[in-house]
Chains A and B, each alone.
Chain A
Amino acid sequence: MSEKPVEGKPVESKSTDSSVKPDAKDKTPSKSVETSEEKKLSNKELKELKKKEKAAKRAAQKEANGISPEQQEKLAEQKREKKQQQTTNSNLKKQLIQTVIKDDSKKKVPTLFSHLETREQRNAASPSISHIVHPAILSLALKISSYKIVGSIPRLRSMLEVFKIIIEGYITPSNTTLQRHLTGHLSHQIEYLKSARPLSVSMGNAIRWLKQEISHISLDLSDIEAKQILCEKIDDFIREKIDLSDRVIIETASKHINNGSTILTFGHSQVLENLFKYCALEQDKHFNLIIVDSRPLFEGKTLFNNLIETETSPNVDDLASETSSVSSRGPKSKPITQDHIKIHYVLINSLSSTILEDVDCVFLGAHAMLSNGRLYSRVGTGLIAMMCHARNIPVLTCCESVKFSDKVQLDSVTNNELADPEDLVSNINSKQPPKKKAFALEQFIKQIEHEKKNEEKSPKGKNNVNNKNKSKKDEDDKDKAPLSNWKDIPNLNILNIMYDLTPPEYIKKVITELGGLPPSSVPVILREYRST
């Protein structure tokens, strides 16, 4: 009885066949080969049949809903169009690659680092997509690429602020929902932002978080509500992951700075700057600070300047006494560098002479903590950590948990960021960070100069005397700046990388908002962080 309807409905017959088979196998092991072949066939057929069945079911449903087959076809077409729209992201990348401006200057990267993306490559495509980019992103990209905004946390904060502006001004296109379309929209903006500098680890983490939040927004909400919720969430993120984290970190770290102790730091880190200010202003500690600085960014000078700009607010008692005695003078406010923090400013080359003075501990900033416990930070950090470790000076690093990355890396060569080598050649004695122009402007200037040169060349060729003078002048120029034309020297390369990797054995403690940890605990934190 049961077999007849099975033959009539092939779908079910196969399924019953397959369900029967294991039994058959058990019973007749000699036939196992045959049965398995049968099974394979049946599986394939099964899938096809199931598809057909599903399609049939859908068609039936739609017909039941009152949609004719023709309408269905239209819908399908619309879907295909949508899919194409969704793939614009990858199309964009293709476009970028195709529109790379073939620069006449050869790629000048040392062979060891030739796998890294150069600034030219990053920038090559940016003009071609700038029309779909929000103006706030354009200005942010410019600030980041010219090192006006530098450092992992400032970059993250400004990026999130800009995202808020974008979300507030976002209007969902008619045939999609915010949850689906906004992520793609943001991806374009991020793609452009990447052309300024590669995203920092913290920015990557924040973007991942934001995309997840967007997808979690319930479909029932109106756009305005959804946008409001997103903006609030971004604000919360900034407050929780940056501001409050920093405060916790500072409170923990300030225990390591005592009255009269000597602290060494390298470059500029936002949380460390706040730490020093906190110790001076709120805890009224007096200490020595050795700022180690390096070319070409001179971030130590930024820290120095920022410390000078923070001034002690005069105490109320002092104020009262002062006003009573010398009424004409206003309240005096001194920069904290005058009486609280004694600053010793050195460049990295004098490290070994400096470190021999009794340094009590070293505070280092972080770009990222990698999951194998290595600290990825501004180039030079590793050298300092190594020297201090060799002299038994404790090395501490302050790092918010947004900077934790699940990547692993073993040396600084495999993954790094290439900066513009021109920064190392031009203005070698300026002692200031390079003043960068926008990439497009630079290219424009280059083009004009090139045209000018061509114009000059044509009349110059006529008389040789002029030529000789020129070549003499060239020689003079060479005496002034031997590397002004370094791009024309085939065997010469200039390497300007941004980061290096400090092994975990040099780091005594990583101070995060979750407390002080050894570097080996980074993966633990990552897991906990992921699970919440």
Chain B
Amino acid sequence: MVKELTIEILALVDPVVDKLKRHQLSGDKTIALEISQLLMRVISAARWNSPFELIQIIRQVGKTLNTAQPKEIITGNIVRRVLAIIRDEVEEEDQDKDQTMMNSIFSLLSTQKPDKKIYQQSKKQSSDFRSIIIQGIRDLVDEITNVNEGLENMAVDLIHDNEILLTPTPNSDTVLKFLLKARSKRKFTVLVTENYPNGIEQAHKFVKTLADHKIETVLIPDTTVFAVMSRVGKVIIGSNAVFANGGCLSNSGVSSVVECAKENKTPVFAVAGLFKLSPLYPFNRDDLIEVGDSGKILNYSDFKLVDNVDLVSNPLNDYIPPEHIDIYITNIGGFAPSFIYRIVLDNYKPEDTHLD
């Protein structure tokens, strides 16, 4: 059943696989856009007789991308979104065809094993189908590029005047846009953690941008979070991926910040574009967390220390359990973590949760 990808498609996929492996794509949004562009090209290059063959091809591409960078959730999300678009289209065609004879109970019994012959598409049909799918992906790309617009509109509702906010994720572009938008209506102070060692340069740039936009900004070391938390009104975090259970992945160190916020009963809200929602469940924490360069913690030139240390670790991410987050703010509105699974169901098909 699993077909190997044809050479033409491999030629399209391989450069992206390399980029993923080398971590040359930085930023979740860039990855999302790159993957959807790739899938668009794959769909226009691929040959298929039935939509199911196309689905197989896309799944195969998804698997290849996943093995290239198993800890990158976004690639899988986009592949699954595209698969959902295709399946939706198939269903629609399905309904058009046998509207007359099928009632719902009968369809329940009979569509378990769809007769593939029905879906043998003629050439004209398949080119129509292709253009519809590509249009669907274009819409997805639009959604990803304009993700901040939907988010920003909620900013004013969530921040009051003279509030003190704290953000432990200065590398998040979404958080930055969110705060800048909020500044147009409200005056507030933002505490920004350094995110040493992985995000310190970004933190400095982030802080500077905020200050240039006349937002009172205070840069604090990661250790100071506990000391200032009692004065903080809200904690705002960016996320790398949101799981179906309502938990999310974020920068390392964020987990302790939100735990501290919980301890002080400070509300925590996470901002995330819709494309970051994933149908996966975080069953094994260790599978999710990527480990980075330990040379950022102990210099390799510091041979005396390196020689005597048993273990140095530099995790890049932290898993944040759903109970530590109060709301998620997405481009389609705010949701409680317990509701995320519904949004996931709206955007993905359960058949595609596992690409293997």
Which A residues are within 8 Å of any B CB, using their own CB? 110-112, 288, 294-296, 301, 304-305, 307-308, 335, 337-338, 342-354, 356, 378-380, 382-383, 386-387, 390, 411-413, 416, 424-425, 428-429, 431, 481-483, 486, 489-497, 499-501
Task: Give B193 Cβ to nearest chain A Cβ, in Å.
Answer: 9
Task: Give A401 Cβ to nearest chain B Cβ, in Å.
Answer: 25
Tell me whether A301 and B256 are in contact (CB under 8 A).
no
Tell me whether B194 and A424 are in contact (CB under 8 A).
yes
Tell me whether A335 and B308 are in contact (CB under 8 A).
yes
* B158 interface residue (CB < 8 Å to A): no
Binds A, one of B28-36, B91-99, B205-213: B205-213
* B171 interface residue (CB < 8 Å to A): no
Contact sample, A vs B, 26 pairs, CB 8 Å cutoff: A111-B216, A296-B221, A301-B305, A345-B297, A347-B314, A348-B223, A349-B198, A349-B253, A350-B313, A351-B253, A379-B224, A380-B222, A383-B223, A413-B228, A416-B227, A431-B297, A481-B204, A486-B208, A489-B208, A491-B214, A492-B211, A493-B216, A493-B219, A495-B219, A495-B224, A497-B227
CB-contact partner of A294 in B207, B221, B313, B315, under 8 A: B221
CA A424 – CA B203 in complex, angstroms? Answer: 12
CB within 8 Å for A308 and B208 given contacts A351-B256, A431-B298: no
Tell me whether B217 and A379 are in contact (CB under 8 A).
no
Contacts of A288 in B (CB 8 A): 310
Tell me whether B219 and A428 are in contact (CB under 8 A).
no
Contacts of A386 in B (CB 8 A): 226, 259-260, 263
CB-contact partner of B219 in A346, A382, A490, A492, under 8 A: A492
Task: Give A445 Cβ to nearest chain B Cβ, in Å.
Answer: 24
CA A483 – CA B318 in complex, angstroms? Answer: 27
Tell me whether A482 and B205 are in contact (CB under 8 A).
yes
Tell me whether B315 and A353 are in contact (CB under 8 A).
yes
Task: Give A195 Cβ to nearest chain B Cβ, in Å.
Answer: 24
Tell me whether A380 and B201 are in contact (CB under 8 A).
no
Tell me whether B211 and A295 are in contact (CB under 8 A).
no
CB within 8 Å for A380 and B226 given contacts A431-B299, A482-B208, A493-B218: yes
**Max chain A C-beta neighbours (<10 A), residue from B212, B228, B230, B297:** B228
CB within 8 Å for A353 and B196 given contacts A296-B221, A343-B308: no
Q: Taking CB as reference atom, which chain A residue is nearest B206?
A: A482
Contacts of B265 in A (CB 8 A): none
If A112-B228, A379-B227 are given as contacts, then 13 extra A-B residue pairs at C-beta distance below 8 Å, sorted by A number, are A304-B305, A338-B308, A346-B313, A349-B198, A352-B256, A413-B227, A428-B204, A482-B204, A489-B212, A491-B216, A492-B217, A492-B219, A501-B227
CB-contact partner of A352 in B223, B224, B259, under 8 A: B259
Task: Give B298 Cβ to nearest chain A Cβ, in Å.
Answer: 6
Give the number of residues in B that approach A within 8 Å (Cβ atoms).
59
Contacts of A295 in B (CB 8 A): 194, 196, 221-223
Tell me whether A413 and B218 are in contact (CB under 8 A).
no
Tell me whether A348 and B310 are in contact (CB under 8 A).
no
Contacts of A378 in B (CB 8 A): 223
Tell me whether A350 and B224 are in contact (CB under 8 A).
no
Tell me whether A387 and B259 are in contact (CB under 8 A).
yes
A interface footprint on B266-304 (CB within 8 Å = 1, 0 otherwise)? 000000000000000000010001000000011100101
Contacts of B226 in A (CB 8 A): 379-380, 382-383, 386, 412, 500
Q: Which 3 A-B pairs have the closest CB atoms?
A: A380-B223, A349-B253, A412-B227
Contacts of A344 in B (CB 8 A): 309-313
Contacts of A483 in B (CB 8 A): 204, 207-208, 219
CA A294 – CA B298 in complex, angstroms? Answer: 12
Task: Give A14 Cβ to nearest chain B Cβ, in Å.
Answer: 61
Contacts of B297 in A (CB 8 A): 345-347, 431
Q: Taking CB as reference atom, which chain B residue is nearest A292?
A: B223
Tell me whether B263 and A353 are in contact (CB under 8 A).
no
* B252 interface residue (CB < 8 Å to A): yes
Contacts of A343 in B (CB 8 A): 308-311
Task: Give B237 Cβ to nearest chain A Cβ, in Å.
Answer: 14
Q: Taking CB as reference atom, which chain B residue is nearest A416?
A: B227
Tell me whether B308 and A337 are in contact (CB under 8 A).
yes
* B220 interface residue (CB < 8 Å to A): yes
* B38 interface residue (CB < 8 Å to A): no
Tell me whether A308 and B194 are in contact (CB under 8 A).
no
Tell me whether B212 and A353 are in contact (CB under 8 A).
no
CB-contact partner of B313 in A338, A354, A486, under 8 A: A354
* B200 interface residue (CB < 8 Å to A): yes
CA A350 – CA B298 in complex, angstroms? Answer: 14
Contacts of A110 in B (CB 8 A): 189, 218
Contacts of B235 in A (CB 8 A): none
* B255 interface residue (CB < 8 Å to A): yes
Contacts of B312 in A (CB 8 A): 344-346
Tell me whether B194 and A383 are in contact (CB under 8 A).
no
CA A358 – CA B198 in complex, angstroms? Answer: 25
Task: Give B155 Cβ to nearest chain A Cβ, in Å.
Answer: 18
CA A412 – CA B220 in complex, angstroms? Answer: 14
Contacts of B305 in A (CB 8 A): 301, 304-305, 308, 345
* B197 interface residue (CB < 8 Å to A): yes
Task: Give A285 Cβ to nearest chain B Cβ, in Å.
Answer: 16
CA A276 – CA B44 in complex, angstroms? Answer: 66
CA A482 – CA B164 in complex, angstroms? Answer: 23
Contacts of B256 in A (CB 8 A): 348-349, 351-352, 383, 387
* B215 interface residue (CB < 8 Å to A): yes
Tell me whether B208 and A379 are in contact (CB under 8 A).
no
CA A483 – CA B315 in complex, angstroms? Answer: 26
Q: Taking CB as reference atom, which chain B residue is nearest A349?
A: B253
Task: Give A505 Cβ to nearest chain B Cβ, in Å.
Answer: 10
CA A307 – CA B304 in complex, angstroms? Answer: 11
Task: Give B201 Cβ to nearest chain A Cβ, in Å.
Answer: 7
Tell me whether A350 and B253 are in contact (CB under 8 A).
yes
* B195 interface residue (CB < 8 Å to A): yes
* B47 interface residue (CB < 8 Å to A): no
Contacts of B314 in A (CB 8 A): 347, 350
CA A337 – CA B311 in complex, angstroms? Answer: 12
Q: Taking CB as reference atom, which chain A residue is nearest B314?
A: A350
Tell me whether A492 and B208 are in contact (CB under 8 A).
yes
Tell me whether A350 and B212 are in contact (CB under 8 A).
no
CB-contact partner of A428 in B164, B201, B298, B313, under 8 A: B201
CA A337 – CA B255 in complex, angstroms? Answer: 30
Tell me whether A308 and B304 are in contact (CB under 8 A).
yes
CA A428 – CA B302 in complex, angstroms? Answer: 17
A interface footprint on B309-349 (CB within 8 Å = 1, 0 otherwise)? 11111110010000000000000000000000000000000
Contacts of B263 in A (CB 8 A): 386, 390
CB within 8 Å for A491 and B252 given contacts A304-B305, A343-B310, A386-B263: no
Contacts of A424 in B (CB 8 A): 194, 219, 221
Tell me whether B313 and A352 are in contact (CB under 8 A).
no
* B140 interface residue (CB < 8 Å to A): no
